[in-house]
Structure 1
């Protein structure tokens, strides 16, 4: 094999920044520059950073830069010839890593990097203290790049248009599909998250370095308030962090010429990607994601012998629970080397860069079987995974890594959406939104009418019997019959029959 066309991951750098007061904190561009320097040092070849010719920057949200690539280039002493600022998506670091490897395999790049950083904690601290941060001049016209225009307006109106309020639809549907009671499903989530917290407690780059027991995670309390049923604060991604991470790749020939020790290297075996319909109301059901299944199946075929290490995206418990079952992992498996987005921290789109760094360290120690790095974005929407190993892919990397056709071929009929649903209706899946004091604000139900159409309805907090039904722990309310009626404001409400 031509060693100038064999991509290899040689270094990873991470920064966790917790100064005494926010004005001493590093801004995102500074976190990124430091992470890149640490990645080159980790490879044992600090001079490679000067040879960087391709840089993918993970979308950053915590500071309103007018030109983030320029701000980063200034700190690096110059911009590589290819410098791309990516779109929003939790899966994007995995995609950038995969595509960087393919560029090296095609001979388009010799030294590539992926980098990201967020300083949400410092920004929040500064706002609370009423102080200005001495960072790059903010852009007054900046706005978040992720809008909600692709979601149904009723989902936005009912407050189920953010990940923390949408993933519960999957959590509750998966639980019902498996035949679990809510108590059983929530106990599984709490035990899994407790294990994740233990991994984070041993990770030097983690934000929360404490192991939580399952009872603390699964029990609502003033310090662990309910957010969107069944999730409490300790079961959702924690974006209030100051963290940066970078990955450094080159060709095997270039790595050897730079003196990178062989024991520092890891190789991509391949990967896969697919997406679900962006509007989650346009999916056939909620107890699985066909794109997730197709991606994981493809990576299992690439690995062949199974995975020695797994990092399964963990914004909310349903994601690794679904993925672990698809992969056939044994009960009690802890599919993270990083610690998860609750405990390690969720630097918005950049968690998987940190996950790749942790996986590189784990591979250096373990060698052995291949490792799986699986990321997800939006609302169980975007899925990308790669397989890493201590040895090169025997036949090289496949340029066509899309498994979209496979995912689409598995999708069943999608129910027509009823704009103003009325009549007999059963619960397809649901959540209950809570206020900051932990009191129910309203339930939200995805429902199915007798004619098969799908609707979206609220359950007012004042309907105590219906809210109690949604929150019961001994038996799932999924499938419960009731009635959809139009309220005075024209919004459908679901009521007990």
Structure 2
């Protein structure tokens, strides 16, 4: 008979002390979060000490901060247990939801009895050490990686192939491609879209302002005006206050078991939060191989499959937490589910988003699950849905939690209902080298630190064939027009040709000068 998986303990920890000698490494923060999660079960200190030794599964969301050789093994050693299952995830913001889903499935199948899933970052402390020109404290776990390479953003590998040739692939470049594409598809002006995004993130900031775990709590929340206005403080990187803020010291953990073992342990039922199921998939790793730039098939399919796997409909969900590294993610989720993003009837963020709450590296959605569990216990609703996103709008995973068991009486889903990745017949042929009359499909612009446009990026279509290409701006006039907030570049015609400098780039000209 299949077991019923539940969360029995959740925990979070924050370290706001940026003094270098007080810098706590991710391992320490995770251990503290696990300790809080174990205490959250309501068991006695002696029972918790005994419970630690019975943990037979440890999953860890890979940390950006420190290159541990085997973090799950280190955690197991510190906890005094010898788990039969250990795993450290790849980099992706989907991993908290995915690993909890997989741990719940193992519990349902009887493969795991007591599981811990945890993750954490100490990027704020690491940045403080770098600023002071000193090493982290000597009690941090020794690693073989040279110190100069320790803090290398996990997104550095995203610029590859023809993207790398055109110096594009980072999140701050790719997410705006979709923001611009969706804006044009919806018929919004650039200013109207910016206002909408600023309103959305201002509402998220108000949520973070009431969340003690938020990194900037209890500072005054950012407003629509401060978020939407480009300034020296809010540089034109989407702009900056619409980006994930990752320089935090945060860790979170959840403890899972079955209802039968929870009864055996004597854990009160008002602590139980049922893990109903999940689903996840991904679009192409290469952004230029997506069907279009105004939708995410992975988000749509994941939301639909996640709800169906849990035996739920949209109306059954009382609270959502949509990943929000950039506004495009919650926008796409809301549009797919038919939710009013600016005046939602139900919460669409429980934390306040990756800008105002803090990005927490890959681990943001872990905190969404912990706060959702607390709200469900408190009776703020019956069921909730977490949408976790990773890569450059690439990976998606949904997890549903509830204060009640499944209404349909079915067992935990035996498998992820979606394939590992989605394929599409509607992806156009990609021309690495392009020349001819062309049209802009989407675009974005890099700005320097003085908010001056420095490099234009165009994803376009050749008019003669419909083939897609990537290009940079070809001249100053094209760059200026791409950066204008008064003109809509998408749909505009121009000319593309290979660069004469031999670096493998294409150049796009809005004024036709490329033929000269």
With normalisation by structure 2, the TM-score equals: 0.90
Unaligned runs of 5+ in 2: 512-516
For 2:420 and 2:42, the matched residues in 1 are separated by 42
- Quick one: which of 385, 405, 412 aligns to 1:372? 385
- The aligned runs of 1:186-197 (5 Å cut-off) are 186-197=194-205
The answer as to 2:486 corresponding to 1:486 is no
Q: Deviations over 1:463-491 (max 9, x none)?
A: 1x323322333453111111112222232
Structure 1, gaps ≥5 residues long? none
Q: Does 1:402 align with 2:417?
A: yes
Match of 2:245 in 1: 238
Instruction: Please show how residues 443-482 of structure 1 align to structure 2 within 5 Å.
Output: 443-450=456-463, 451-459=465-473, 463=476, 465-482=477-494
Change (3 A) 1:387 1:20: closer
1:220-369 alignment runs, 5 A limit: 220-227=230-237, 231-301=238-308, 302-304=311-313, 305-331=315-341, 332-333=343-344, 334-366=347-379, 368-369=381-382
1:132: Cα distance to partner? 1.7
Equivalent residue in structure 2 for 1:437, among 444, 450, 461: 450
| 1:66-105 to 2 correspondences below 5 Å | 66-105=69-108
Q: Which moved more, 1:25-34 or 1:331-340?
A: 331-340
Range with bigger deviation, 282-291 or 433-442: 433-442
Which is worse superposed, 374-383 or 360-369?
360-369
Moved more, 429-438 or 99-108: 429-438
In structure 2, the partner of 1:495 is: 509
| 8 Å Cα contact 2:155/2:171 also seen in 1 | no
- Say which SS state the counterpart of residue 170 (structure 1) adopts: helix
Report the alpha carbon displacement of residue 399 of structure 1 after superposing the two structures with TM. 1.2
Work out the number of aligned pairs and report it.
488
Are the equivalent residues in 2 in contact too, given 1:18–1:25 (CA < 8 A)? Answer: no
Q: RMSD in angstroms over aligned alpha carbons?
A: 2.1
In structure 2, which of residues 157, 166, 179 is the aligned counterpart of residue 171 of structure 1? Answer: 179
Residues 102 and 405 from structure 1, CA distance in 2 versus in 1: closer, same or farther, beyond 3 angstroms?
closer
Structure 2 contact 436–495 (Cα < 8 Å) conserved: yes
Over residues 155-188 of structure 1, what are the superposed CA-to-partner deviations in whole Å (9 max), with x where a residue is unaligned?
Answer: 1233212112111111110111111111111111
Whether the 8 Å contact between 1:294 and 1:406 is mirrored in structure 2 is: no
Confirm whether residue 199 of structure 1 aligns to residue 211 of structure 2: no
Q: CA deviation at 1:320?
A: 0.5
What is the rounded CA distance, in whole Å, between the counterparts of 1:441 and 1:123 in structure 2?
A: 30
Q: How far apart, in 2, do the equivalents of 1:213 and 1:146 lie?
A: 30
Query: Superposition pairs for residues 28-107 of structure 1, below 5 Å?
Result: 28-45=26-43, 47=48, 48-107=51-110
Q: C-alpha deviations, 1:222-268, integer Å up to 9, x for none?
A: 111112xxx11110011111111101111112223323222222112
